[in-house]
Structure 1
Amino acid sequence: MIGTVLDGRYQIIEKLGQGAFGATYLAINQRQMGRYCVVKHHQPDSTDPALLQEAQRRFEVEAQILAKLGQAHDQIPDLLDFFSESGEFYLVQEFIEGQTLSTEISHKQRLTEPEAVQLLRDVLEVLRYVHQERIIHRDIKPSNLIRRHKDQRIVLVDFGIVKQTQAQAVTPKSRFIVGTPGYIPPEQAQGYPLFCSDIYALGMTAIEALTGTQPHELAKDAETGEVLWKHVVQVSPELAAILDKMVCFYFANRYQSVTEVFQALDRAGPIWESLAVQPQLSPAAPPTGLSATQFTTPSLRTDAILAMAESVSRELEPHLEQPNVGPPAPVNNSLPTAPNLIAPKPIAAPHTVPTKLEPRSFPTFRFEIITVDHQGRLKEQSPGVAEYFRENLGMGVTLDLVRIPGGKFLMGAPSDEADSLEIERPQHRVTVPTFWMGKYPVTQEQWLAVASLPKVKLDLDPNPAYFKGKYLPVETISWMEAVEFCDRLSQHTGCTYRLPTEAEWEYACRAGTTTPFHFGETLTPALANYNGSKSAHPPHLGPRSHQTTTVGSFPPNAFGLYDMHGNVWEWCEDNWHDNYQEAPRDGTAWLGFSSDRLLRGGSAMSELGLCRSANRNGRNGIFRFNFNGFRVVGSPD
């Protein structure tokens, strides 16, 4: 690779490092008077054309996010360019003249306590901005912290988001772990990084800086899993308490935000506030042949990159944390966001299929059933009617459930269905008893009413949604929180409420159809709230909303259910399984040992294929994810 010229301009002159997803090189931009830059090479480990195409798409999205981060914060390197050659991906970033914290520690052995506190503040200041953008760094460690020669400020490098999404693109159902052993906490080691995962990594970095001991060399308490380090170095009780909380084994016991860490440091202020610590280091010699000039001039493509970054998809669908989206168009009312975390032990949801209802008269409502052709043009429009009952949630709020008549259907996708995956097969016939299902996804108004009811097992944040409006679907909730909602509603009404089984959900979504969507072969923006910008047919082209819409804004299916395609992903009761081998055929939930739970229906950020009736997704039931909501199944008796 040394001597190679990439993209007709970047001449590789030195290899700086090697990682799981490729190498990092020092390069010269031949078109900008020999200025130095860093080229990061990402090499997918799959040659499958479909997976490579997805890898390319995700790579471009993440590169645009990195461009936005670098442009907005002085302590994050600028992204100068990105491109692909021969199915491999390259990022070009600003070269930072300085030395890593790992070099600093090895030269000085240890930092003093005031120096370590200043290090915490420097890095926290960068993380404050990064987390505000809903990004988790994932790989904070001494070698990714560079003290810049020109101003002695800490620069945070080597974000893990591109490596994460490249891994997901080439192995969609596996969990590639981004991060370095010793610095990553348990939840991240299982593939579920949180904001407080970065706080853990920073705490371990500070402990290493104080002790001169790498994390893997430190013992851990056999019973609690907590890191044992205070016997190695003497520090003030205040700093010891702060670091202990930063590196707690269980994520819920850590500081949950950068602000909380700053507040703790400020409370211990008398010890450190009067100290303005800047370690006096002799500048390390730059690599051979390097100019001492700071390389900050963007490449010719930077303006285009930043322009794209402004319109970057907030998808990261749906595993990664999302950047903040601008305020939505006002839709009725209230509710701010709150990324609180919940206790880890899952609770069991009720698993029984609703008992048969005695014959009883219920009110009905009428609607129009829409069918479209493969171009999205209206093919047929017919009247529909369905029975429903209305549950009183209190606070003047009600919840409508629609009767779904029992029957048999072929569950899953045929092998020739566009965008289908093997996880949706084998197709199998399922018999589903009659049940009652929410007419719409649960709204924020309904969530607030039920969250105000007495607790069953978990506390509920009354205002978890990012997009605010009482008639918008509630989102950014975990599976466990959705189950707690059902448990509280059951306790309040004396009737059984639960999440739908996966079979019930698909049966209800299809409503007697066998096409990819209950509307027919495709969707259009007039039929559902989804990401229609990349569809092959001109009728689908149009602006993405990037936000949820008022429930019931689009036509229902033949059962009278609204928003089954797009808007928000909907939790189901089942555990995740990789395919339908040995799946139940009676409509009951398929339970198991996986911590992942089923999600169905796609969201406002999902492309066409993710909104199909047969599409399946799985996410850990403990954690919240953007655009995840639910609807309930219940009984009027």
Structure 2
Amino acid sequence: MIEFFSAVAAGLAVAAPVAQNLGQIAQGGRRIWGLAADILDRFRARVPADQQQAVLKQALTQAATMPAAEFEKKAEEIVELVLADKPVEERKRIAETIKLMPDRIRATFARQDDPSGTTAPPQWAATRPEDIIPLLPPRPPLFRRGDPVPDNNRWTLVDRLGIGGFGEVWKARNREDDFSVIKFCLDPGSQERMFTHERKIIKLVRAELDDHPNIVKLMDSHLEGPTPWLQYEFAPGGDLLHNFATWPKDLAARATMAVEKVLILAETMAHCHALRPMAVIHRDLKPANVVIGKKGVYKITDFGIGDTTARQALEEARIATISGHTASTTSIRYFNTPMYASPDQKKGLDPHPADDVHALGVMLYQFILGNVGLELGIDMWNDLESLHVCPQLLVVLDKAVATRVERRYQHAGELAEALRTLPKKLIAEPNKPAPVGGEYPEKLLYSEIDRYWKDAKSKNETARQQLDRGEWKAAIATLEAIFHPVMRDGELYARAVQYRDGKNFVNSLGIEFAFVPKGVFWVGGEKGKCGSKQVTISQDFYIGVYPVTQEEWQKVMGNNPSYFQKGGFWKGGKGSSKLTGMSNADLNLLPVESVSWNNCNIFIQKLNERLKESGWLYRLPRESEWEYACRGGAATQALCAWNYYFRSPANKLSPQKANVSELGLGRTTKVGTYEPNGLGIYDMHGNVWEWCEDAYDGSSRVIRGGSWHNSAVNARAAFRQGYAPTSAYNFLGLRLVRVPSGSR
């Protein structure tokens, strides 16, 4: 044992600057690799070549199994022996660093047949510096047992639970012998993110999630000074990573338990994803962040710092190639963040609720297979099929871990709903088919699941055509005939149900309208700040699900004034050249443009005369109605403080969300191409400006929503502009409202 840890002590003494923070791989990668190489060289110089691996394994196993107090004493003795000529403070610092190594050894050695990590894997060997790096602590310890919690001396640190690139984790005790967990953020980059982005989330977590039975309570926080910390309730049952060893060995029982426990986690995250004005996205879900509370209750921890700690781990993974050599840090090797992170998260994209869905899907897969160290790979489906997992569960897993975010469940609520629909029998008995609303062969091939998806795609398209014709009952029947609800087009089904429940309306010309309930809101809000003017929408009304299309205009007016069309007045012009490859059906669904405010009112007059709907009237929306509908009928000041409104509100608009100039398309797009808002209304941001009834300044009239021709800043919910009522540019269109007669 002394040979290896003497080499570590000597190496740390030479590489003192690196020892200040081994976690800063991005800044000091070559030096850390050099430190590991130096340690390995010193060890080799002390031990004959044919004995090196056996001696090293023995030293590491002894350290992993030795009582903490005994190892700490041994570390001090080794440092005193090897570094007798060094200053006392330096010796203390190096000894404290070495004392952390048993935790790193156990984390490195942890595996399915030894979750505790107290024995070396049979094939493990340290022949390269990158084999030594995971054994080294990421930073020297800052705190010691018995230290008071900074700025809260009612609590005393009693046991270090972990240390990493993010900081230190301690068990703390107060004078009443109550316990809690203190997580210190010591990494400068993580501190900066915590002080800016995470501060708002931490405040929201404490306000909205503290009383949730499946969320570890965030008791207190201190986000100032050099050692910011968060204080969580203490969970006596340990974490799911280690608790998993107690799960049933029987496959059927384990699969049932897996679905049951992941459903609990999905329902918990669904609550977080539904919070407004801002969804709480964890972004670091994994078994180690699920703890077991009193009475065996599963609780998710690390809310408020999940994204920050995940970024830290992913950054370590990203820069794991050091000095031309691949270095496997502990966070890369086993049980940690990169294994659960979605492809978008690994690319550094903005948080999305589907990131948490991906992590839950990976956990479900691991739980069923009985191996929490198993990564997703091309063998995933073979693994599941060989266990005779039922098709419905395969479908759920397929959608939960889909590579493309648009194919994945969009939030945890959708995953939870899918899990609730699964049959009770999840695994077929050997040599016996299992009933799953029919029967399936003893060995299910993935091609069968692929067949289900193809059938669902066909039925979804049929239902879309039925709905376009106003045949919502037929559309519902077609969608409900799909093998599993998860395969349905969710938005299509929601629209059909809206018609069934009377919340949407299609007139005799096929123009669709969404129901907007009356309410109170605040106009002008943006960038997290609510507007100061309160407006009351005194009655329910209907608003067009889409801007008026060229086909709809043609039906009423008998002409098409649009610049972007393949015929009519603009035939052969620049607008036509932008439409290459578009089908006639898609061309019909382009929004009508090049229409003035005056043109729009003539259209509306003819529409009312033609339809003669008793008790109802069509007109342009008032500006307040437009903004209220755009914000999804927002009824609180917090919900009225965002720039853009889709399924979830946002303050930034990516080109993937709307047709604005940043997209670079240079023309209009088919209505309904992008994500709707909370009321199921499409294209409220971008595509074409929409005329409103109100005056803007003098004789000019208000337009709202931005267009393909303008940048995202002009598409904000609060942004307004005016044009002369005779203006008819190729970025000006309209959207209708339907209101009770006499309600002008």
TM range (shorter): 0.3 to 0.5
Relative contact order higher in (CA < 8 Å, ≥ 6 apart): 1
Higher relative helix content: 2
Q: What TM-score, normalized to structure 2?
A: 0.39
Q: What TM-score, normalized to structure 1?
A: 0.45
Higher relative strand content: 1
